[in-house]
A and B are shown apart, each in its own frame.
Chain A
């Protein structure tokens, strides 16, 4: 079967799964709301159909819970999951390293420091419907990437090894600064820890409305470089011989992936494993061709994150488990299982 047809087939399957999980997620939670009511409320939000939907008989609080608490949470987690998985695919491809994840060049520690500064030193109502902390986290993440990238540039070329090393070094330094601020302001320590740990408990439409279009556009643009990414994995020189503008494409992909990761982290804190493991799992299922791997990983990342967040808020109701714990508990064994079952080479 041609690549394009296969890709489409997988995408449709994944989207159907995603749709089903959205419905399940929307109707589960600490507060019992019937499936029918859930469906009605969700439908009433879709422009076009909402004229025909009557939600008068539904409890006002239920409407608030679905539309202001669960739905933003569901959609935010999906988009953050997509962003992290997409960035993970790109970084693993660029670095030819199975250990690469979206945070590998310092995005997470940059975001954490930014958020810390925003939390501790800045007061304000935020920008464009997004909170101050988020804005500062984004600035921190982008600033760090910019720094790491410039440190690693030698005569216009970016060495992948230098990128990794400077990412590690800078991350360590920024983390140290963050901890130092935390010790100086112990009264804010808990708040910082909570932000970094991440989660979707406070998801708002405001954040989502800013995140979603940016992430969507970046993910789509990156998708056009997947053939190049395949060839770049043969080595920089070979890629040039096959007609790929290796330096330029690497630069572009690095920037795009870092942006995607930065936006995701500033919205939801540092949630691990999704960006690292989703590409691996999909690689075992659909193969290493990035033209197929990328779009499927993106959607799978959304599914994975949505499932994890839903479990996080339902497993020990009414307690909330931090979503990062669910992603590690769930992700790692599943990956090991696939690894053992498959005789194919993963990388």
Chain B
């Protein structure tokens, strides 16, 4: 039989707990050396998949192959040699020492009638070194802190010396320093020792930053399975988790990140009442000041345009993500006539114009002029945070003066973004 490239192969997996169907026709393959995160809301079936693969649950329909062999034919020691699980907590009934706990990971290799051998002590020591717990090998497990305990549990799993690691929310309850430390360790194991890792993480960002592939699970079915870029987008997240999120890209690491959007009850009420009179809104952008407004208005159902922003501006990412038309300019260049015109076209076809707390310099002063023109066109103009214009004015007072003029001529000033919605009603 040809050596299977896939170290785990799941075909038509169906699993029910009593009458309740937990997993519905799940099929996927895991390649050797993959780092996959399984994401999904509570109850989607993530832990069930892990429990089925690791042979804790047995009454399933379908076929699961591990290392090319049918899982049903493997005995528990064989399975334990192939994969190690790192659970969220472990609570031993007795006060074992750290070394004793780690040595339990060697169980698959020790015969019932045999005893621990040199290789076993060696493997256990190695595992403790990797998790930096050699120094407290003789302390009682129960006396350790949460993070230290988890190091021991990881060491226990590493002592199993298995090609596959299954992580079941291993860091969910720990401080961020441990989350980073462990994630680095897992990445290391994946890259250097070529361990195949399948993980369930509470923290989406932790998952998408470190995995190559994401499996989105919804109500027992695979909603999406692929690379991070392919699977993580607003619709998918909205579909699977039912929440609105903001997906951005970290400028330093280049990784995507998911940011939840928080709407209080008042805001949701306002949103629920829906956009009525003014349905087309143009938002002046610049320096990231527009993103929040755009997002809020977008959730409320307004049709939005944005401009003029430069191409490195995060407002651009927001606009792109929400698929909003925008006028853009090359960075470090003053706004060209072209861009100005385009911006003005947007303004002309909108019912309202929003001016967020943008920083104004000579380069983008024309944006402010456009807003002034909009007042002349009897468009509803809402200015946010006029109080601090002085701080944002890098035009020797010109911007401040224009602000004052616009307000005299009918522009509405609001303190916060939430009031914008109210004004638009």
* Interaction A to B: yes
Interface secondary structure of A, over-half rule: loop
A240 touches B76 (CB 8 A): yes
CB contact between A243 and one of B80, B87, B93, B115 (< 8 Å): that residue: B80
B107 touches A227 (CB 8 A): yes
B112 contacts the other chain (CB 8 A):
yes
A249 to chain B, nearest CB (A): 10
B94 contacts the other chain (CB 8 A):
yes
Among A231, A237, A243, the one with the most B-chain Cβ atoms within 10 Å of its Cβ is: A243
A346 touches B90 (CB 8 A): no
Q: Please name all residues of chain B whose beta carbon is closer than 8 Å to the beta carbon of A93 when the two chains form the complex.
A: 93-94
A242 touches B115 (CB 8 A): no
A347 in contact with B93 given A242-B107, A289-B100 (CB within 8 Å): yes
Among A224, A235, A344, A346, the one with the most B-chain Cβ atoms within 10 Å of its Cβ is: A235
A288 contacts the other chain (CB 8 A):
yes
A241 in contact with B93 given A225-B112, A227-B107, A234-B104 (CB within 8 Å): no
B110 contacts the other chain (CB 8 A):
yes
A241 touches B116 (CB 8 A): no
B104 touches A242 (CB 8 A): yes
A288 touches B96 (CB 8 A): yes
A185 contacts the other chain (CB 8 A):
no
A202 contacts the other chain (CB 8 A):
no
Interface hits, B187-204 → A, CB 8 Å: none
Interface hits, A211-269 → B, CB 8 Å: 224-225, 227-228, 230-231, 233-235, 237-238, 240-245
A3 touches B96 (CB 8 A): no
Interface hits, B92-130 → A, CB 8 Å: 92-97, 100, 104-105, 107-108, 110, 112-113, 115-116
A227 touches B110 (CB 8 A): yes
B145 contacts the other chain (CB 8 A):
no
CB contact between B107 and one of A243, A283, A288 (< 8 Å): that residue: A243
B115 touches A244 (CB 8 A): no
A233 touches B76 (CB 8 A): no
Q: Please name all residues of chain B whose beta carbon is closer than 8 Å to the beta carbon of A96 when the two chains form the complex.
A: 93
Q: Please name all residues of chain B whose beta carbon is closer than 8 Å to the beta carbon of A245 when the two chains form the complex.
A: 75-76
B107 touches A244 (CB 8 A): yes
A61 contacts the other chain (CB 8 A):
no
Q: Please name all residues of chain B whose beta carbon is closer than 8 Å to the beta carbon of A345 when the two chains form the complex.
A: 95, 140, 142-143
Closest residue of chain A to B159, judged by CB? A242
B108 touches A243 (CB 8 A): yes
Report the tally of A-B residue pairs with Cβ distances under 8 A. Answer: 83
Closest residue of chain B to A2, judged by CB? B116
B79 contacts the other chain (CB 8 A):
yes
A3 touches B93 (CB 8 A): no
Cα A265 to Cα B144 in complex, Å, equals 42
Cα A3 to Cα B97 in complex, Å, equals 13
Interface hits, B149-164 → A, CB 8 Å: 156, 160
CB contact between A242 and one of B51, B97, B108, B140 (< 8 Å): that residue: B108
Closest residue of chain B to A97, judged by CB? B93
A248 to chain B, nearest CB (A): 9
Q: Please name all residues of chain B whose beta carbon is closer than 8 Å to the beta carbon of A48 when the two chains form the complex.
A: none
A333 contacts the other chain (CB 8 A):
no
B55 touches A240 (CB 8 A): yes
A4 contacts the other chain (CB 8 A):
yes
B398 contacts the other chain (CB 8 A):
no
B115 touches A3 (CB 8 A): yes
Mask: chain A, 260-298; 1 = CB below 8 Å from B; 0 = not:
000000000000000000000001000111000000000
Cα A12 to Cα B221 in complex, Å, equals 60
Cα A185 to Cα B324 in complex, Å, equals 95
Cα A241 to Cα B167 in complex, Å, equals 12
Q: Please name all residues of chain B whose beta carbon is closer than 8 Å to the beta carbon of A346 when the two chains form the complex.
A: 95
B81 contacts the other chain (CB 8 A):
yes
A347 in contact with B94 given A243-B81, A245-B76 (CB within 8 Å): yes
27 contacts between A and B (CB under 8 A): A3-B115, A4-B116, A93-B93, A93-B94, A224-B113, A225-B112, A227-B107, A227-B112, A230-B96, A230-B100, A234-B104, A235-B91, A237-B51, A237-B56, A238-B90, A240-B54, A241-B56, A242-B107, A242-B108, A243-B76, A243-B108, A245-B75, A245-B76, A283-B94, A289-B100, A345-B95, A347-B95
15 further A-B pairs in the complex, CB-CB below 8 A; given A243-B107, A245-B76, A345-B142: A4-B115, A4-B116, A230-B94, A234-B92, A237-B51, A238-B87, A240-B55, A241-B54, A241-B84, A242-B104, A242-B156, A243-B80, A243-B81, A244-B76, A347-B93
The 4 closest A-B pairs by CB, nearest first: A243-B80, A288-B94, A96-B93, A243-B108
